[in-house]
Amino acid sequence: MPEPLLSIEGLTKTFHVAKSASGNTRLKALDGISLTVGRGETLGLVGESGCGKSTLARTLMMLETPDEGTVSFEGTNPFGLKGKELLAWRRRVQMVFQDPFASLNARMSAGDIIAEPWATHRSLYPTSRERDERVKELLQMVGLRASDARKSPQEFSGGQRQRIGIARALALKPDVIILDEPVSALDLSVQAQVLNLLNELQKELGVSYIFISHDLTVVRHVADRVAVMYLGRIIETGETEEVFDHPRHPYTAALMSASPKLDVTGAKRDRIVLQGELPSPLDPPSGCRFRTRCWKAQDICAEVAPEPQVVTAPDGRRHLAECHFPLDTIMGLTGAAAAAATANAL
């Protein structure tokens, strides 16, 4: 694994909200998140809505201040920076948003949108000639024409708009780009074009991606490593193939099972259909957070929160999972346990 560019240890973020049913006013959106991102690597972040994916992204962008935990970017804690140093750091982490329609200002031209970050980071391209040249380069880099700089966002299709969003993120030559559901608003044929573009740009520029998505097929295609989140915690993480082929946490297995598969042979498969929905993060279950929906839960799961432990897959490779009763093999799961879980669901 390449040397980590970004490493996070025990990150916790609590929001204060109006009273909830149990009188709890503290919402722990992130509860001890630890992860690393290597240079030129793609980390996939998956989980249901409300699990804390976006809070994590916002914290990494320094839009939120964590309560606890450390963030280390090439050995520096960005939250300790001030003034010029902070400005310089902000350049290095950029973001591409989900909605290509809401994330571009309709009153600006594509060229102005891409050039806007340089209004803050003036030293990058000091003269207007340099900036114009660079806008053209960036447009071509993302597969648009240099002449598109004059057009306004509404003259572009969804896929083209997302390309503009990517060009804007690239404008500051970042080291990490956080891609928050970058293709989920796009049609399938266009989605493939954008994924290919992201892949080419990564090879060319060596930029790292944090790829947030609910589409497991896409994550499997793009991510080197994957982290599965549930109610503010990373419950399983490891190399993508490893986690997808041998999920050890029941939630990961259920998530993969629930995700529809395009199998042209038409073979019917056993599926785990989880009961219920994500519990409110205001009143998370005691012990293991997944126990209320887990078919393997025992008494200990309600009492003791499982610690991340190294699990070994049948092929000898290891990754981390947080479970008292990690699944042995995926085969054991698709049999009796899966049938029981499905039968319970309705």
Partner 1 sequence: MKTAADPSTLRRTRGNAATESQAHDVVLQVSGLAVDIRTHRGTVRAVNSVGFEARAGETLALLGESGCGKSMTAKALAGIMDPVCDLADGQIVLNGTDLAALTPKERLKFAGPELGIVFQDALTALNPVYTVGTQLGEAFRIHRGLNAKQAKAEAIELMKRVGIPEPESRVNSYPHQFSGGMRQRILIAMAVALNPRLLIADEPTTALDVTVQAQIMQLLRKLREEGQMAVILITHDLAVVAEEADSVAVMYAGNVVESGPVAEVFADPRHPYTKGLLESVPVHLERGDQLKSIPGSPPELHDIPSGCVYQSRCPMVQDICRAERPALRPAGRRRTQSGAATAEADLEQATSAGTNDGGATDRPVRTAACHFSEEITNA
Where do contacts with partner 1 occur on this chain (CB under 8 A)? 48-49, 157, 159, 187-193, 195-196, 199, 203, 214, 216-218, 220-224, 240, 254-255, 257-266, 268, 271, 273-274, 277-278, 345-346
- For residue 161 the two structure tokens come to 């708009």
Q: Taking the complex as a whole, how short is the minimal distance between the CB of residue 258 and partner 1, in angstroms?
A: 4
Give the separation between CA 163 and CA 201, rounded to whole angstroms.
11
The answer to whether 249 and 327 are in contact (CB under 8 A) is: yes
Rg of the chain on CA atoms, in Å: 22
Query: Looking at beta carbons only, is 90 or 249 nearer to partner 1?
Result: 249
Q: Min. distance of Cβ 254 from partner 1 in angstroms? A: 6
Nearer to partner 1, 34 or 199 (CB): 199
**Shortest Å distance, C-beta 231 to partner 1:** 13
Alpha-carbon span 247 to 257, nearest angstrom: 11
Provide the strand spans (E) within the chain.
Answer: 4-16, 26-38, 42-46, 68-73, 93-96, 176-180, 208-212, 225-230, 233-239, 309-312, 318-321
Nearer to partner 1, 55 or 78 (CB): 55
Q: Return the number of the residue (278 or 321) whose C-beta is nearest partner 1.
A: 278
Strand order of the β-sheet with 4-16 is 26-38, 4-16, 68-73
Q: How far is the CB of 184 from partner 1 (least distance, A)?
A: 10
264 or 336, CB closer to partner 1?
A: 264
Smallest gap, in angstroms, from Cβ of residue 168 to partner 1? Answer: 21
Q: How far is CA 45 from CA 255, 258, 278, 285, in A?
A: 13, 17, 17, 22
